[in-house]
Structure 1
Amino acid sequence: MFMEVPCIKGELDSFHSDMHPVVEEIPLAVTVNGRHVLTAMTSPMMLREFVIGFLYTEKIIKGPNEVESLVIEGSNASVLTTDPFKILVSKKTVLSGCGGTMSFLDIQRLPEIKSDLVLTSDMIRSSVEQALKSELHVLTGGIHVVALYNASGKMCVVEDIGRHNALDKVIGYALEKEIDLSQTYVICSGRISSELVRKCLIANIPIVISRGATTTLAIETAKSRGLTIVGFVRSKKMNIYSGEERIEGNVPDSLKIP
């Protein structure tokens, strides 16, 4: 996940040669039924889960059972599906940065959340504190963390240079483990974007939580389709932007988000 690379370190006007840990970034070209559909810049771990999660959230497959074979060799992943004539998405390059992969978001065509999951504010605070203790992030300063939880606790934690990649890996992991995603929630270290919301809606993950910010389009999309967004979870504080009915205990009934 990281390599020690040489650099020149400076402090005020003093400089010296040293080594520093830097996260690894690799290109992964994904071919589906002979067609190149994706090149992702990602971290070199859980690549199978990433491919399955991405194909699922792009609606190329409805589940792992539609993957006839998945072979990863070096920087190439080759997928055969049970329907080799399925119409595929356009070729994409998913960068490791914070940009989304969708040029247009049709909110009304996204599925609505179907879940009875409810969390307390104490559960949110404690799970965020636990999930985001990343030694790799402390070491390198260059990694995102996405974790999958249910009411019983932590199920999966993924570190990746891109938070969208990390979410796809979490979803791919859950699909292969046959986890009921309607009873889970996601915690992420970075901003909650409309792309993260879109992926959660397709996977029917009802709650997404971050210690960081969100965006107006993410909130608009979440409100329209019944997803809960909680941001800026830090110490004793949090902001609930949508789906407040899923946070029980300390939210007065008189407080409704307009």
Structure 2
Amino acid sequence: MMYKEIPCIKKNGDEYTASMHPVVEEVPVALFVNGRHAATVMTSPTMLKELIVGFLLTEGVIKSLDEIEALSVDDDRAEVLTKNPYKILFSKKTVLSGCGGSSSFLDMKKLPKIQSDLTVTPAQVSTGLKAVLNSPLHMLTGGVHVVGLIQGDHHLAIVEDIGRHNALDRVIGYAALNGIDLSQTFVVCTGRISSEMARKCLIANIPIIVSRGATTTLAVEIARAGGLTVIGFVRSDKMNIYSGEERVSGAGSLEIPAPVE
């Protein structure tokens, strides 16, 4: 269960009534890597193993699942032992639920390039987005972000979390644990595409990220530098393609204009 019924007073017109309302849960999970407290993640209490694996991958603590010697997850604590017991590449921090918290410092020159020949149709993009918008928890509470991992017309995973960055880490962790080739998938999300979302896609080699909402200038800059396709404002038969237009059927004949200085 990712939500609880919380008492409240509801107003409807001029009438006030005592009632209950479903509210999403938020819990702290302390992450220890090789005996050191590396981070505290504010998250939804589900798929914690996938979250931790995805977080370790996108933060560069591990390059692959093979580098994990042992992993244990309790309700509020996760402990990881890597094959290099002295390795930890980030200082202790708190990852906030709203937007990923204190994200990694971006060094554009060190970001990887997408290696993928994937192309998608506008219909696949729209269908993938509908799958995340139909999340029962999202519709019930209105308090979670949803990220979907899509391959062609198949929805490989639909993941909810109070933070969209956590949800993306969960999807990446799910793929690693299940041997999924992320270069042949794309992700769709309910929230804004931020620079941190773009960074995580580059590191995981996810070639396309889609949202019903907006993106940021830095996210687009990162995407163009790394070959990531960013698609926003997907509504009905409309969408904005900000980078990587060659991966969307029908859009490759056009070239996105250079930014206005």
Q: In which range does the TM-score fall when normalised by the shorter chain?
A: over 0.9
Match of residue 256 from structure 2: 256
CA distance in 2, matches of 1:88, 1:126: 38
Q: 8 Å contact 2:45–2:75 — kept in the other structure?
A: no
> Which ranges in structure 2 are unaligned for 5 or more consecutive residues?
none
In the TM superposition, residue 44 of structure 1 has moved relative to its aligned partner by: 0.5
Name the counterpart of 1:98. 99
Match for residue 108 of structure 1? 109
TM-score (norm 2): 0.95
Identify the residue that residue 244 of structure 1 maps to in structure 2: 245
Shift of 1:161: 0.4
Aligned to 1:3: 4
User: In structure 2, how many angstroms separate the alpha carbons of the residues matched to 1:198 and 1:144?
Assistant: 18
CA distance in 2, matches of 1:252, 1:245: 4
Q: Shift in Å at residue 103 of structure 1? A: 5.7
| Pairwise CA distance, 1:62 | 1.2
Counterpart CA distance in 2 for 1:88 and 1:33 is 11
Identity %: 59
Give 1:86 shift: 1.2
Q: Which deviates the most, 74-83 or 206-215? A: 74-83
Return the letter of the residue paired with 2:86: F
Which residue in 2 is equivalent to 1:230? Answer: 231
Cα deviation digits, residues 193-220 of structure 1 (max 9, x gap): 0000000000000000000000000000
Work out whether residues 100 and 164 of structure 2, in 8 Å CA contact, stay in contact via their aligned partners in 1: no
TM-score using structure 1 length = 0.96
Q: Displacement of 1:85 after TM fit?
A: 1.2
SS of the residue corresponding to residue 148 of structure 1 reads strand
Instruction: State the partner residue of 1:48.
Output: 49
| Paired residues of 2:124 and 2:153 also in contact (CA < 8 A) | no
Residue in structure 1 matched with residue 77 of structure 2 by the alignment: 76
Provide the C-alpha distance between the structure 2 equivalents of 1:99 and 1:73, rounded to a whole number of angstroms: 21
> Aligned to 2:45, what secondary structure does the other structure show?
coil
Distance 2:180 2:159 in 1: 16
Q: Distance in 1 between matches of 2:72 and 2:252?
A: 52
TM-superposed deviation, 1:100: 4.5
Native 8 Å contact 1:147 1:155 kept in 2: yes
Number of matched pairs: 257
| Cα 1:182–1:257 shift into 2, 3 Å | farther
Contact 1:230-1:242 within 8 A present in 2 as well: yes
Superposition deviation, residue 129 in structure 1: 1.5
Asked if structure 2 preserves the Cα contact closer than 8 Å seen for 1:232 and 1:239, the reply is yes
**Of 87-96 and 166-175, the range deviating more from structure 2:** 87-96
Find the counterpart in structure 1 of residue 164 from structure 2: 163
In structure 1, what is the Cα distance between the partners aligned to 2:203 and 2:119?
A: 19
- Correspondence for 2:174: 173
Q: Residues 10 and 65 (structure 1 numbering): CA distance in 2 closer, same or farther, change over 3 Å?
A: same
Q: Deviations over 1:165-203 (max 9, x none)?
A: 000000000001111111110000000000000000000
Counterpart CA distance in 2 for 1:100 and 1:242 is: 25
Say which SS state the counterpart of residue 30 (structure 1) adopts: strand
Match in the other structure for 1:145: 146
Structure 1 residue 74, shift from structure 2 partner:
2.5
Task: Give the deviation of 1:242 after TM superposition.
Answer: 0.4
CA RMSD of aligned residues (A): 1.3
1: distance between equivalents of 2:232 and 2:166? 20
8 Å Cα contact 1:23-1:161 kept in structure 2: yes
Structure 1: segments with no counterpart, 5+ residues: none
Residue 87 of structure 2 aligns with which residue?
86
Conservation of the 8 A alpha-carbon contact between 1:23 and 1:140: yes
Counterpart-to-counterpart distance in 1, 2:133 and 2:115: 27
